[in-house]
Chain A
Amino acid sequence: MNKKDYILYLEDDEIDAIKFTSTMKNLGFQEQIIVQQNGEEGLNWLSANRQLLPKIIVLDLNMPLMNGHEFLEAIKEDNDFKKIPIVVFTTSSNKVDINHSFEYQVAGYMVKPFEHGDYKNIISIIKQYWDLSAIGHI
């Protein structure tokens, strides 16, 4: 595994960002997690780091300035960015949100659970996804 590989997490809620990062670390994730607070910041990050793009983007949907849906639409316009697998991670279980996300070929759609045990289970799935999909990038 390349030490420079990292996850880009787009999340405006500070608590969620800390929770995600610490849960991933507890599950044995050793690489970096870069958090940006909305779609616009996410796009800026990607543009500034074209040489070293994230291996996965974890995406919240409801964010200020540029929300998750707008972000999905924006990065499909870029030939480099659109190859990055995206996992949507949101509180919304709204059909409209799910449909729109898969229309933009997201790799997965996970609903943030309320209970701590459920949360850990879902993060471990994202961790597994990382472990498995990163193999192809070596």
Chain B
Amino acid sequence: MESKNYSKKRIDREIRARKEAERIMEEKSLELFYANEKLKKLNDELNESLSLNINALQESEIEKFALFENAAVGVIFTLQGKVIRTNHKIVEMTGKHERDIIGKSVLDLVYDDDVFNYESLLIQLHQKEIAQFNINLRLQKHNKALLWCNLYSSSVKTDDGVVKYTIHILEDIQEKKAIEAKQETLIAQLKEINNQLESFAHVVSHDLKAPLNGINTVMSWTRDHVKNLSIEDSELNQYFTLIEDRVRKMYKLIDGVMEYSKVSQGNEKREWVDVRQLAEETVQLISIPNHISIIFSGQFPTISVNKLKLKQVFLNLVDNASRHNDKKEGFIEINARENEHFWIFDVRDNGVGIEDKHINKIFKIFNTLDTSGKHTGIGLALVRKIVEHYKGRITVDSTLGQGTKFTFTLDKDTVKVAHE
């Protein structure tokens, strides 16, 4: 019986153990069930919070993301505003770990002061008002340092126009910004210097001219006085003339330098000018010798320029041509034509011509081929500066003894607008 008892006890024990095991298993499987449910819920929450509707993205696109891993620019992919993928460059640019970026908004990378501008664009993008945008902004790096970036954001859509994801490309423009800032400072400095130079030029020109005026006046008094004394001295009169000529030249020089310095001033007054009419008017101002005839040829345009400046150009070219003509029947021909980009004007004469060795000198300021001492050498320098001001060029073609042809161009785009 001993054995019977023993076996019954064993069976009972086994039954108890099985029951216990069943209970534990039930308990565990319930726990597992709850844990599973919890996990499911967590997963759902996670999916929801990331809006990770990854199924909507095709395998091929996810593969595409990998292509950007080693790109030279920073690349971020977002899905409904949350970062789902970045590349190595982004880590480098922000100094942050990828895990600290994923799941957050791109806004979290942007410097506070620039958030507003960026966010308003981003909202427009999300509301599909715009398909892409471009903005310069600063990233706040991990170490609080700022980095200037050019950020380009664009939505990638399915064929039905549903936004799949958004790609953000970030280009480091820190150096460009630094250069820009430097340039701005330089330009501001230049402006200041220009202003100072301008007022300096005015004061100097006034202060230089006033005493010359005085000398000129006293010279004429002296002349009158000598005349009244009835002294007939041709040598003395010649000296007076020499002094007066030089004083006059000095006066013209100061005016010429002032004119020259004024050409590049930005605030010029422009108007529509019939070039033919202007050239004709200008010729009237010059005392052309009787043996020289003026010929107009070609099609003259009406352009938007500063009238005085263009007048200076014709005045100097025609005046030069009229003073250097040794032919019995001289002529000065003013021709106008055009090509695709430029208006082209010739001032051609059959005068004495210019020696080759002097050709390079004539457009340089204070260089004159005139030996009488009456000319300042500013005229052609001024002409060139004015032509270049209207983005044109001036060239000269001359044969000694046969004549000279000055050709200048004016840029059509520059002289077709009413104001600069």
**A interface vs B, CB < 8 Å?**
13, 15-16, 19, 62, 90-92, 94, 96, 112, 114, 116
For B212, the chain A residues whose CB sits under 8 A away are 114
Q: A13-B210, A15-B218, A16-B214 are in contact. List 6 more A-B contacts (CB 8 A).
A: A15-B213, A15-B217, A91-B206, A91-B209, A112-B213, A114-B209
Given known contacts A15-B218, A19-B217, A116-B220, A91 and B251 CB-to-CB distance under 8 angstroms: no
How far does the Cβ of B270 sit from chain A's closest Cβ, in whole Å? 16
21 inter-chain pairs at a CB distance below 8 angstroms, sorted by A residue, are A13-B210, A13-B214, A15-B213, A15-B217, A15-B218, A19-B217, A62-B206, A62-B207, A62-B210, A90-B206, A91-B209, A91-B210, A92-B202, A96-B199, A96-B202, A112-B213, A114-B209, A114-B212, A114-B216, A114-B248, A116-B217
For A19, the chain B residues whose CB sits under 8 A away are 217
How far does the Cβ of A9 sit from chain B's closest Cβ, in whole Å? 15
For B207, the chain A residues whose CB sits under 8 A away are 62
The answer for the CA separation of A96 and B265 in the assembled complex, in Å, is 14
Of chain A, the residue at the smallest CB distance from B214 is A15
Given known contacts A16-B214, A116-B220, A92 and B248 CB-to-CB distance under 8 angstroms: no
For B251, the chain A residues whose CB sits under 8 A away are 114
The answer for the CA separation of A19 and B217 in the assembled complex, in Å, is 8
Give the number of chain B interface residues (Cβ < 8 Å): 15
For B202, the chain A residues whose CB sits under 8 A away are 92, 94, 96
Leading 4 A-B pairs by shortest Cβ distance: A15-B214, A94-B202, A92-B206, A91-B209
How far does the Cβ of A38 sit from chain B's closest Cβ, in whole Å? 14
The answer for the CA separation of A94 and B206 in the assembled complex, in Å, is 9
Of chain A, the residue at the smallest CB distance from B209 is A91
For A116, the chain B residues whose CB sits under 8 A away are 217, 220
For A16, the chain B residues whose CB sits under 8 A away are 213-214, 217
The answer for the CA separation of A18 and B209 in the assembled complex, in Å, is 18
The answer for the CA separation of A23 and B210 in the assembled complex, in Å, is 18
The answer for the CA separation of A115 and B220 in the assembled complex, in Å, is 10
The answer for the CA separation of A96 and B218 in the assembled complex, in Å, is 30
Of chain B, the residue at the smallest CB distance from A92 is B206
The answer for the CA separation of A94 and B202 in the assembled complex, in Å, is 7
Of chain B, the residue at the smallest CB distance from A119 is B217
The answer for the CA separation of A114 and B249 in the assembled complex, in Å, is 11
For B213, the chain A residues whose CB sits under 8 A away are 15-16, 91, 112, 114
The answer for the CA separation of A16 and B172 in the assembled complex, in Å, is 67
The answer for the CA separation of A19 and B251 in the assembled complex, in Å, is 19
The answer for the CA separation of A96 and B209 in the assembled complex, in Å, is 18
The winner among B199, B206, B207, B220 for most chain A CB atoms within 10 A is: B206
How far does the Cβ of B77 sit from chain A's closest Cβ, in whole Å? 60
Q: Mark B196-232, 1 if CB is under 8 A from A, else 0.
A: 0001001000110110111011101000000000000
Of chain B, the residue at the smallest CB distance from A113 is B213
The answer for the CA separation of A96 and B248 in the assembled complex, in Å, is 25
For B206, the chain A residues whose CB sits under 8 A away are 62, 90-92, 94
For B217, the chain A residues whose CB sits under 8 A away are 15-16, 19, 116
Q: Mark B92-119, 1 if CB is under 8 A from A, else 0.
A: 0000000000000000000000000000
How far does the Cβ of B407 sit from chain A's closest Cβ, in whole Å? 33
The answer for the CA separation of A91 and B207 in the assembled complex, in Å, is 9
How far does the Cβ of A93 sit from chain B's closest Cβ, in whole Å? 9
